[in-house]
Structure 1
């Protein structure tokens, strides 16, 4: 059975070798993530080269996603290795580095902090593991009472419950990393901490200046980004895809609110024909354990039932002890969820008008595939991958084979739910294109005599978004 939900794996010290990349591909990884918050430019160059080489050797179309660090607000360097903060104690956060030389005073690089908080606000350190209540603001200093203590180390993140702390959309490091992403011809670029659609403008302008064609994935992790449907929908519309980045988002809006917001983001992204990745702590225990908890399996399955295109692994594959086991466990969880009837049929847009011919053909193909007997596959002959993406917005139990002569298109389709990218050039005579497409699938053993395939394509070769033809063919055997 073909797994429809895709897996994104973060590359790090535990998974960067050519041997491990090959094993991860064998276990089911579809997209590799380079986390620009860690490592060097030369290190990322080496990793991208290894990934491309192994994929070429195995004839697998996998994508590479570069993840910008973004303007994450952090505390500064402590005067010693760590501080132990005790419940009920006092601590001061200061923007004056010269004061941060005691256990009761910590520097913060976010210069706007004193003017951004007030007495009674809750500040969260280290992804919410440490909680502080602001007791007052005095000049450069924010005085706090420790509500939930713990061990604090240098450079940990700082959030305000409910949001409200924001920095410039991209940093100098991000600009350098965008240039690196263009150099490496990455398929996707994840933008961290956008609060609204306008925060993507500097990234788009930089990519345009470099004449680069990289799809932007907005990481939804600010409370401001989900404060209203208008803001969220505008951010989704301005993106090529989104990521439900549950770490900082959960810290800012509270974990109790997170599950409903996750479902809303996935639903709104799919309605906008945008792919969506669900991320953060999906199988966190497998950083050390060889098996997941039942709760983690349920978490992955729940995201699949929500309709996510992909589920993501972070430290589990970057630094964990069991990279291949965690990918295999996640793949099993996805397959299990995909057996549920509601993942196999769709009423998507059944009561809405269709805007383009391309969309009409794409939706008609999957509707026919779900309701016509003996259909075993949908085949999308595509230049840009757009038709395959729209087809993947409908639930179905059948694979969508996205066939393209463009390597980049195939790599991008690796993220789309239910799409199997195939790099092939079928241009050897118009009359033979449809037959050759069907035979390409038959050669994999996926068809038997009497099986039907649905094929979509466009009359104008070389131009994306021009799909206007749907054919139904029967395989003679």
Structure 2
């Protein structure tokens, strides 16, 4: 049994050198995240060069995600870098203030004054500081501190319950979409989308920049929950970004929302990534807490395609150990999943497309015949995606001659990309090439039973319409 759940690791100061990146590849990362909120374009390019070198060395397919910063609303700077606020204290968020003090601080988003009214609750520094709006006077938001503490430069601001009007794509994001296209990333994550329109705009800008990267919607606004169907229809996958989401909807609501988002994404044939503080303690500790182990395992049991590490690998003291620990947790959680649940899923499924019907038939046959592998010969990766939406504990190999599809499918749960070299139009030759590639990869042996899906006529674009049950090595083309 291979690990089906994929691991996303953020590259940063702690994972910039070639040795650490090489060890992360060996430890089992499947996707790297470039956080465009930090670092220069040259920093990202240098890390990618080292990643590609390590990937070639170890024969691994590692996809790349660019994560846009989005409209993160922040306070300005203080004269002394930080202040301490006490409950009941009056404090002003001043859009015209250049350097803050114990009474006021500036804003990097002056439009905030138009988004709040008396009685609104503002949460600063991921909810560590809580303020209630008392009045709005010109460029000033007068507040009273409800929960105090230390407040330092450039901390973020959220409005409890959502409702901020900031657009999802800022001018910086639009520039970074150009940079992402230049770096030839495989996925672009859009921060703080409110509706499908934000994702459609991102896709349009990517297309203009010459990129076919998949678009990921980061679910971190209250409005995104209300518009989830629209967002899912407009994107290729979602990220459950639990940090800002918890601040907007309340931390107690997040576990149920996580399950809902993953379930709905899978039902609509989209992939899902679970993120934020999954192994947070391992920034400074060589072992995770029991709560973190349970958190990662529960995300796996929820059906997430991937789990993501942020500061743990970008700035932590134990980036490689963290990936190794996460891989172990995912593997053990997957072993406990009930394959009999697959039959129950089929009771309510209705298929209207031939290619989707073939994908589900392959899954059903693989489960009941106990085959060694499913081989999906695919140009776009769609068949592999459909098969991966339900789990039968049988590995799915996406065999493609399209380099973009090879990386595109890397995030799909239980799907492993393999490149094929066959370019002809003979079905038997193509199936034989698929068998040979599976054997070369160590996925199967002669005598193993496998299920193969493909499209006919061979070599022509179109949906998958053929399924074949094959005993490896039994037949060779004439």
Match of 2:12 in 1: 12
Match of 1:67 in 2: 67
- The CA deviation string for residues 159-190 of structure 1, in whole angstroms up to 9 with x for no partner, is 01100113122111111111111111110000
Match of 2:400 in 1: 404
For residues 339 and 171 of structure 2, the distance between their equivalents in structure 1, rounded to whole angstroms, comes to 43
SS of the aligned residue for 2:335 comes to coil
For residues 318 and 462 of structure 1, the distance between their equivalents in structure 2, rounded to whole angstroms, comes to 43
Matches within 5 A, 1:351-362: 351-362=348-359
SS of the aligned residue for 1:14 comes to helix
Match of 1:160 in 2: 159
For residues 197 and 241 of structure 1, the distance between their equivalents in structure 2, rounded to whole angstroms, comes to 12
- Using the TM superposition, name which of 50-59 and 361-370 deviates more: 50-59
- Using the TM superposition, name which of 384-393 and 278-287 deviates more: 384-393
For residues 424 and 60 of structure 1, the distance between their equivalents in structure 2, rounded to whole angstroms, comes to 15
Match of 1:53 in 2: 53
| RMSD, aligned α-carbons | 1.7
For residues 97 and 392 of structure 1, the distance between their equivalents in structure 2, rounded to whole angstroms, comes to 52
- Using the TM superposition, name which of 344-353 and 85-94 deviates more: 344-353
Match of 1:255 in 2: 251
Identify unmatched segments of 5+ residues in structure 1: none
- Using the TM superposition, name which of 216-225 and 118-127 deviates more: 118-127
- Conserved in 2, the CA contact under 8 Å of 1:344 and 1:397? no
Match of 1:435 in 2: 432
Match of 1:173 in 2: 172
Residue from 276, 280, 286 that aligns with 2:276:
280
Matches within 5 A, 1:329-340: 329-340=325-336
- The CA deviation string for residues 25-53 of structure 1, in whole angstroms up to 9 with x for no partner, is 11110000000000001111212222222
SS of the aligned residue for 2:211 comes to coil
Matches within 5 A, 1:77-476: 77-97=77-97, 101-227=100-226, 231-342=227-338, 345-346=341-342, 347-348=344-345, 350-373=347-370, 375-427=371-423, 429-448=426-445, 450-462=447-459, 466-475=463-472
Match of 2:40 in 1: 40
SS of the aligned residue for 2:13 comes to coil
Q: For residue 448 of structure 1, report the CA deviation from its aligned partner.
A: 4.8
- The CA deviation string for residues 368-400 of structure 1, in whole angstroms up to 9 with x for no partner, is 111114x11111111111111111101111110
- Conserved in 1, the CA contact under 8 Å of 2:80 and 2:101? no
- Using the TM superposition, name which of 166-175 and 419-428 deviates more: 419-428
- Conserved in 1, the CA contact under 8 Å of 2:379 and 2:402? yes
Q: For residue 345 of structure 1, report the CA deviation from its aligned partner.
A: 4.2
CA gap of 1:370–1:343, structure 2 versus 1, over 3 A, is closer
For normalisation by structure 1, the TM-score amounts to 0.95
SS of the aligned residue for 1:387 comes to helix
Q: For residue 119 of structure 1, report the CA deviation from its aligned partner.
A: 2.3
SS of the aligned residue for 2:338 comes to helix
For residues 19 and 459 of structure 2, the distance between their equivalents in structure 1, rounded to whole angstroms, comes to 37
Number of residue pairs the alignment of both structures matches: 472
- Conserved in 2, the CA contact under 8 Å of 1:382 and 1:464? no
Q: For residue 447 of structure 1, report the CA deviation from its aligned partner.
A: 3.5
For residues 116 and 134 of structure 1, the distance between their equivalents in structure 2, rounded to whole angstroms, comes to 11
Q: For residue 465 of structure 1, report the CA deviation from its aligned partner.
A: 5.1
CA gap of 1:251–1:24, structure 2 versus 1, over 3 A, is same
- Conserved in 2, the CA contact under 8 Å of 1:358 and 1:465? no
For residues 431 and 336 of structure 1, the distance between their equivalents in structure 2, rounded to whole angstroms, comes to 38
For residues 203 and 463 of structure 1, the distance between their equivalents in structure 2, rounded to whole angstroms, comes to 30
Q: For residue 476 of structure 1, report the CA deviation from its aligned partner.
A: 5.0
For residues 166 and 462 of structure 1, the distance between their equivalents in structure 2, rounded to whole angstroms, comes to 48
Q: For residue 128 of structure 1, report the CA deviation from its aligned partner.
A: 1.1
- Conserved in 2, the CA contact under 8 Å of 1:135 and 1:143? yes
- Using the TM superposition, name which of 102-111 and 62-71 deviates more: 102-111
- The CA deviation string for residues 252-302 of structure 1, in whole angstroms up to 9 with x for no partner, is 000011111111110111011111100000000000000000000100011
Q: For residue 115 of structure 1, report the CA deviation from its aligned partner.
A: 2.6
Q: For residue 445 of structure 1, report the CA deviation from its aligned partner.
A: 4.2
For normalisation by structure 2, the TM-score amounts to 0.95
- Conserved in 2, the CA contact under 8 Å of 1:338 and 1:344? no
SS of the aligned residue for 2:77 comes to coil
Q: For residue 449 of structure 1, report the CA deviation from its aligned partner.
A: 5.5
- Conserved in 2, the CA contact under 8 Å of 1:78 and 1:106? yes
- Conserved in 2, the CA contact under 8 Å of 1:438 and 1:453? no
